[in-house]
Chain A
Amino acid sequence: MNNRIKEYRARFNLTQDDLAKKVNVRRETIVFLEKNKYNPSLKLAYELAKVFGVTIEELFIFEV
């Protein structure tokens, strides 16, 4: 599963630290998410989408 977190983060001018604090996770989790090394829980995916004001489908790209 790919995601566009880095792209949206840059668009909203947020640092990894800022985003981590907004969704209440550690900065390392954001790093792993951006590198596609971790698939988040539904709760975290929802919170990330909420921060950027988009749907989960827009933020996460599911590839079979």
Chain B
Amino acid sequence: MLYISNFVLELYNIKFIIMKRTLIIFLVAALVLLSTGIWFLKYTQVTSLTDVLQFGIILLVIGFALYVGIIRLRSSRRGEPAEDELSKKVMQRTASVSYYISLYLWVFILFIKDRVILDTEQWLGYGILGMALIFALCWVYFNFRGVRHE
């Protein structure tokens, strides 16, 4: 009897850990959405093209996070693991390739920053948004193409 209850508790713990990880994704997405909303409401007068572009990229990244979260939830509801060897490999490949591309993004920003006048904070913002966008695009590419020869 004790063995069975231990086994049930262990299963419950595993499920709880998976749900916790998925919950973190939704929580981070909600926090980003909240701060973007506050930022947008604070500067309602500023509706330049760059602001709209920034807002669009942030929404795209939030959409990506929600999509990943929903996929994980759907998998765990079907009784499958939220993460398996393919999804981990996709994430690893995405991280390595997006890091590599991001280096070129920062080199490009260093090159262009003397030619276009912007505040340092703005450049940093563009850099971080660009990195997030590169990561999301790389994930979409590897998730739908697959990681074949490894």
B-binding residues in A (CB < 8 A): 17, 20-21, 24-29, 32, 35-41, 43-44
Contacts and interface: CB of A to CB of B under 8 A. Distances in A.
A17 B80 CA distance: 9
B148 interface: yes
Contacts, number: 46
Q: Is the interface of B mostly helix, strand, loop or mixed?
A: loop
Nearest to B83: A26
B85 A41 contact: yes
Contact of B79 (A21, A36, A39): A21
B75 to A, nearest CB: 5
Given A32-B86, A38-B86, A26 B81 contact: yes
Given A20-B80, A21-B79, A26 B87 contact: yes
B85 A37 contact: no
Nearest to A24: B81
**A26, A38, A39: which has the most chain B beta carbons within 10 Å?**
A26
B79 to A, nearest CB: 6
A44 to B, nearest CB: 6
Contacts of A40: 85
A6 to B, nearest CB: 16
Nearest to B146: A37
Nearest 6 pairs of A and B residues by beta carbon: A37-B146, A25-B84, A29-B86, A32-B146, A26-B80, A38-B146
